[in-house]
Amino acid sequence: MTFRAAALRLYLVTDRGLAGDRPLGEIVLAAVAGGVTMVQIREKQATTRRFIEQARALKAALDGSGVPLIVNDRLDVALAVGADGVHLGDDDMSCAEARRLLGPRAIIGLSLAGPPGDGFAEADYVAASPVFATGTKPDAGPALGLAGVTALRRAVPRPLVAIGGIGRHNAAQVVAAGADGIAVVSAVMAADDPEAAARQLRAAMDGRP
């Protein structure tokens, strides 16, 4: 596993609903220009065909940027477009199965809502989810809080990203609590200027005004 924790610094998770009329690729490229270090495409309503089309467009947009593209849940989509990996949760394929099917070079992320069992062995990184309450994922479990981030940091020997209700106002706290980075949805996807939004999040994490 050669996954670097630095890739988790600012992790953008897409949301078509928040993108409105704007193409996902346009928002994502602006966000990358502003400092996004990794991108996850998440589609909970799309057909398989549409999901593949969207993921393929993002893959093309990110080509050459060095920014990995991760697919939420759907290993079939990841394989079809040659994405860099998958992000999995409790309702998805196990990390062990995903590793067997994707091979050693794929990036596999795992959402954890509390103290982990042994399911993270094949994960390259884990996500504390959700840190705060969020409207973007109404089916998420109870918020872990900053103490939950610190607990996961100590319990799980993997790069750690925090997700859920994170914005400029609390990004530095989340990093101070032990996260290698933050994952955001609405803070960038819903921003009028995604590049500026990403830049401001990076500055907030670095303690810059």
- 119 vs 178, beta carbon nearer its own copies: 119
CA distance 170 to 150: 15
Q: State the minimum distance, in angstroms, from the CB of residue 124 to its own copies.
A: 19
Q: Nearest Cα to 112, choosing from 90, 81, 132, 134?
A: 90
Are the CB atoms for 181 and 11 separated by under 8 Å? Answer: yes
Neighbours of 159 (CB within 10 A): 21
- 57 vs 92, beta carbon nearer its own copies: 92
- 74 vs 153, beta carbon nearer its own copies: 74
Q: State the minimum distance, in angstroms, from the CB of residue 114 to its own copies.
A: 18
CA distance 110 to 125: 7
Q: State the minimum distance, in angstroms, from the CB of residue 93 to its own copies.
A: 6
Interacting residues toward its own copies by CB under 8 A: 47-50, 52, 73-76, 79-80, 90-94, 97, 101
138 HSE (CA, 13 A, CB side): 1
- 123 vs 188, beta carbon nearer its own copies: 123
- 4 vs 50, beta carbon nearer its own copies: 50
CA distance 9 to 151: 19
Q: State the minimum distance, in angstroms, from the CB of residue 91 to its own copies.
A: 4
Active site residues: 42, 111, 137
The DSSP string of 29-82 is: HHHHHTT--EEEE--SSS-HHHHHHHHHHHHHHHTTS---EEEES-HHHHHHHT
Secondary structure (3-state) at 118:
coil
Secondary structure (3-state) at 169:
coil
Q: Mention every residue, 6+ apart, whose C-beta is less than 8 A from residue 165.
A: 130, 131, 132, 133, 134, 143
Structure tokens at 119: 């399911």
Q: State the minimum distance, in angstroms, from the CB of residue 74 to its own copies.
A: 6
